[in-house]
Amino acid sequence: MTDPVAKPAGKTLAQKILARASGRDAVEIGEVVIAEPDVFELIDLVMPQYFKTLEQHGITKLRYPERCIVFADHEVPSHTVRMAALKKKLRQQMEQYGIARFYAEGRHGISHQAIVEHGHIVPGMLVLSADTHATTLGCVGALSPPINYETIQALATGDIWLKVPQTIRVVLQGRLRSHVMSRDLAQHVIAMLGTELCDYRVIEYCGPGMTHLDMDARMTLCNVAVEAGAKAGLVEPDELTDRYLKARTQIPYELLRSDADADFYHTVVIDLKTIEPMVAAPPRPDNLVRISTLAGKEVNQVYIGSCAGGRMEDLRAAAEVVRGRQVHPDVKLLVVPTTQETYAAAAREGLLQVFVEAGAIVTAPNCGPCYGNLAPLTDGDVCVSTGTTNIPGRMGSAQAFIYLSNAAVAAASAVAGTICTPDALAGRVA
Amino acid sequence: MNWCWQGKAWVFGDDVSNDDGIMPLSMTRQQEYDPAVLAKHCFEQIAPAFAGEARPRDMVVAGRNFGHGNPHIQGFLGLKGLGVGLVVGSMGRGPLRACINAGVPILQIGDLQGFCKTGDLLQVDFATGQISNQTTGAVLQAEPMPAAMREIVAAGGGIGHMVQRLGAGNTSA
């Protein structure tokens, strides 16, 4: 006979990661721990200022420079002399602070995807990042809460205070229907759970439905989680994770998971075949509306890219829609592959040719349009975007309107000049 | 540090975003980090008079989900530059960390509907959580600011706290 009271409760994946990172056998949900990250994910946009701040305060050494990886991503290549000069200085600063790993312009990509592609992240890691959408790294079972400006202190001290979060478990069953994308699922989940529920909690994806969701899809699920205020997104590592990582990393790892009897705050079960493409209308990413309600809405810019929507899944879906068609004459279509690896893969598959022949602008990987410093929107512009958020001002003017959608809907809207689905476009052409 | 502040209330509603709510996103694009510069742009798009008229120890009073969206530090450094405090219905994890890191004291109280209007004189004790409206006599009790967060704010924010923690230990090669 076992005594149910004496039985130790299982632990969530987040608990296991934070216990190890704080040098403890176990940690309880809700307690505050001082944890040391395995990796610092850093970006060239902010690091010049962060190094300067450290220097101004007399901090001449980082605690763990060997754990730092820097990516060029926010403005690649530089648009101004000022930015080019900052980036030139950055190389000196990195040398001064002993940081050797730098994915410079040309070998770069948006950090949250590139760092995974290059095999730096494995299940069970704690990663601290200077950029908000670092929750993406949960795609391989790493806990990656964004800490933004606090990165300065964490670099100096080598640690940070973190509250052990509660976990919301999202169990996926079945399979997405054709023309339904991971972005649709990700948006559905944040809208269904809502910011009050997601705040300070981890959204953990698992279940038999994960079998059909590849690493691109998993990145999207974890990326979008932060838009609902989640501390992190996680995907339960599985055989697909193992296959993906084996080809990319030499770092030893185990497929660390939550225990079945862990203390989950909330569990939801989703049948994937019930998910349908929706659009998030301004002013917030969880403001989902049916595409049919926006029929006829004129569009003058479409953006397919960002750490939320410029992966092969997105580029293939968009190319399928625009192949043999032309972008509407009143629309500017921007296609920005998320990383150099994606860019090269899209070139090999002939996708870039499809976009260019349709009248799209294809540019090198960068965060630009989703950050408002490349092809900025002006007053009154209407943009369909696979970017991260539709908060007013995000892509330029605060008087512009951003509608978030999957890449196929974005591409169809670029061709039609109005917000529409690929099916509606096909019907119109026929 | 004296945690009991007295100042004028500046009342905002629910869902004030961080980018282009508290602070124009252009300040982040420009990588501006100087609190004195950022102070001049606080709430520029939604309350243009605020930055010119707010005084140190005034209180920004807002509803639920204050500072939502991307938790860029610029908005909170701007509030720090003005020397104001925050009393809000609720605030998410990202902006809360940014707020404390910038060194801005905050209380979260849930429902603030009708407690005060812009111009009322407030007394707010961040250590005890007591909020009183000296204009109307109304009183509210919030959870106090946790000691660990007060320690960071008292040091002037996360960077000041770091310097205290490290002392001179890390400063020479």
Interface contact B92, partner A, CB < 8 A: yes
The string of pLDDT tens digits covering residues B92-114 is: 999 999 999 999 999 999 988 89
Distance from CA of A227 to the nearest CA of B (A): 7
State the pTM of this model: 0.93
Whether residues A258 and A307 fall in one domain: no
CATH number, domain containing residue A217: 3.30.499.10
Q: In what order do the strands lie in the sheet with A279-280?
A: A288-289, A279-280, A401-404, A382-385, A301-305, A332-336, A361-362
Residue type, position A66, single letter: E
Contacts of B65 in chain A (CB under 8 A): 195
A389/B45 touch (CB, cutoff 8 Å), yes or no: no
Per-residue model confidence (pLDDT) at position A5: 53
pLDDT at A3: 52
Q: A94 with A172, same domain?
A: yes
Cβ contact, residue pair A61, B170, below 8 Å: yes
The domain containing residue A365 runs over which residues?
Answer: 279-429
Return the residue in B22, B25, B153 with the most chain A beta carbons within 10 A, the one to mutate for interface testing. B25
Query: How many domains does the structure of chain A reveal?
Result: 2
Report the gap between the CA of A150 and the closest CA in chain B (Å).
7
Q: Which residue has the higher pLDDT, A275 or A195?
A: A275
What's the pLDDT score for residue B173? Answer: 37
Cβ distance of A149 and B29 shorter than 8 Å: no
Q: What is the pLDDT of residue B105?
A: 98
Indicate the pLDDT class of residue A428, thresholds 50, 70 and 90: low
Chain-wide mean pLDDT for chain A?
A: 95
Q: Which residue of B has its CA nearest to A162?
A: B97
Residues A259 and A399 reside in one and the same domain: no
Domain count for chain B: 1
How many whole angstroms separate alpha carbon A308 and alpha carbon A112? Answer: 10
Establish if B74 touches chain A: CB-CB under 8 angstroms.
Answer: no
- Let me know if residue A94 belongs to a domain: yes
Mean pLDDT of all residues belonging to chain B: 94
Nearest by CB to residue A153, choosing from B24, B148, B159, is: B159
Residues 37-66 of chain B whose Cβ lies under 8 A from any Cβ of chain A: 45, 65
| DSSP element (H, E) containing B142 | none
Q: How far is B68 from chain A (nearest CA, A)?
A: 8
Task: For residues A145 and A258, state if they share a domain.
Answer: yes
* Confidence (pLDDT) at B165: 87
Alpha-carbon gap, residue A373 to B30, rounded angstroms: 10
DSSP string, A177-204: PTT--HHHHHHHHHHHH-HHHHTT-EEE
Domain with residue B126: its CATH number is 3.20.19.10
Residue where a domain terminates, one of A246, A273, A300: A273
- Judge whether B132 and B87 are in contact, CB under 8 Å: no
Q: Which domain holds residue B54?
A: 4-166
Same domain, A382 and A406: yes
Domain assignment present for A8: no
Residues A352 and A328 reside in one and the same domain? yes
Mutate to test the interface with A, among B41, B70, B74, B100 (most CBs of A within 10 A): B70
Chain A positions with Cβ closer than 8 Å to B: 32, 45-46, 48-49, 53, 57-61, 63, 86, 132, 146-150, 152-153, 156-157, 161, 195-196, 199-200, 226, 229, 231, 283-284, 371-373, 389, 391-394, 398
Is the pLDDT confidence value at A367 over 80? yes
Q: Is the pLDDT of residue A7 over 70?
A: no
The 10 Å CB-count burial string (b at 16+, else e) for A77-111 is: ebeeeebeebbeebeebbeebebebbbebeebbbb
* Shared-domain flag, residues A233 and A316: no
Q: How far is A151 from chain B (nearest CA, A)?
A: 10
Asked if A256 and A358 sit in the same domain, the reply is: no
Tokens representing A174? 């079945």
SS3 A70: strand
Token pair in block for residue A155? 């670099």
Q: What is the mean pLDDT of residues A407-411?
A: 98
- B158 in reach of chain A (CB within 8 A): yes
Determine the Cα–Cα distance for residues B86 and A229; give it in Å rounded to an integer.
20
3-state helix, strand, coil in chain B (%, to 5): 30, 20, 50
- B31 chain-A contacts, CB cut-off 8 A: 45-46, 48-49, 86
What would you report as the CA-atom Rg of chain B, rounded to the nearest whole angstrom?
16
Dig out the tokens for B103 from the structure: 């060194």
Closest by Cβ to A229, choosing from B93, B98, B173: B93
Phi and psi for A336 in degrees, rounded to 5? -130, 100
Final residue of a structural domain among A224, A250, A273: A273
From the candidates A50, A53, A391, A402, which should be mutated to test the interface with B, based on the most B CB atoms within 10 A? A391
* A1 belongs to a structural domain: no
Residue A198 sits in the same domain as residue A256? yes
- Give A152→chain B minimum CA distance, Å: 7
ipTM value:
0.88
- Phi first, then psi, for residue A325 (nearest 5°) are -120, 175
Exposed/middle/buried for A46, CB within 10 Å: 0-12, 13-18, 19+?
buried
Confidence check: pLDDT of A372 > 80: yes
Relative to beta strand B106-108, strand B85-88 is parallel
Which of chain A's residues have a Cβ under 8 Å away from the Cβ of B162? 57, 59, 152-153, 156-157
**Tokens matching residue A221:** 């699920």
pLDDT at B113: 86
Q: A57 vs B162: CB contact, 8 Å cut-off?
A: yes
Does position A8 have pLDDT exceeding 70, yes or no?
no
**Mean pLDDT, rounded, for A1-28:** 83
- Does the CB of B161 have a partner CB in chain A at under 8 Å? yes
What single-letter amino acid sits at A163? K
Asked whether the predicted pLDDT for residue A2 surpasses 60, the reply is: no
B19 and A394 within 8 Å at the Cβ level: the answer is: yes
Task: Quote the pLDDT of residue A430.
Answer: 36
State the smallest CA–CA distance between residue A282 and chain B in angstroms. Answer: 13
Domain assignment of residue A6, yes or no? no
CA distance A49 to A416: 43
**Nearest by CB to A391, which of B65, B69, B148?**
B69
Does position B168 have pLDDT exceeding 70, yes or no?
no
Contacts of A150 in chain B (CB under 8 A): 97, 101, 158
Q: What is the pLDDT of residue B172?
A: 41
Q: Tell me if B21 is assigned to some domain.
A: yes
Would you call A393 and B19 a contact, using CB atoms and an 8 Å cutoff? yes
Same domain (yes/no): A57, A196? yes
pLDDT at B5: 98
Is residue A314 domain-shared with residue A332, that is, in the same domain?
yes
The single-letter code of the amino acid at A157 is T
- Residues A65-120 pLDDT 10s: 999 999 999 999 999 999 999 999 999 999 999 999 999 999 999 999 999 999 99
Q: Is B164 on the interface with A (CB under 8 A)?
A: no
Residue A153 Cα, gap to closest chain B Cα (Å): 6
Q: Show residues of chain A in contact with B68, CB under 8 Å.
A: 195, 229, 284
Last residue of a domain, which of A239, A273, A307?
A: A273
Q: Are residues A347 and A223 in the same domain?
A: no
Query: What are the CA-CA distances from residue A46 to residues A272, B49, B53, B115 (Å)?
Result: 39, 30, 31, 40
Is B159 part of any domain?
yes
- The residue-averaged pLDDT of A380-395 equals 96
Inspect the interface and report whether the beta carbons of B98 and A226 lie closer than 8 Å: no
Cβ of B97 under 8 Å from any chain A Cβ?
yes
Task: Specify the pLDDT at position A1.
Answer: 46
Rounded Cα–Cα distance for residues B17 and A389 (Å): 12
Q: Does the residue B31 lie in any domain?
A: yes
pLDDT band of A135, cuts 50, 70, 90: very high
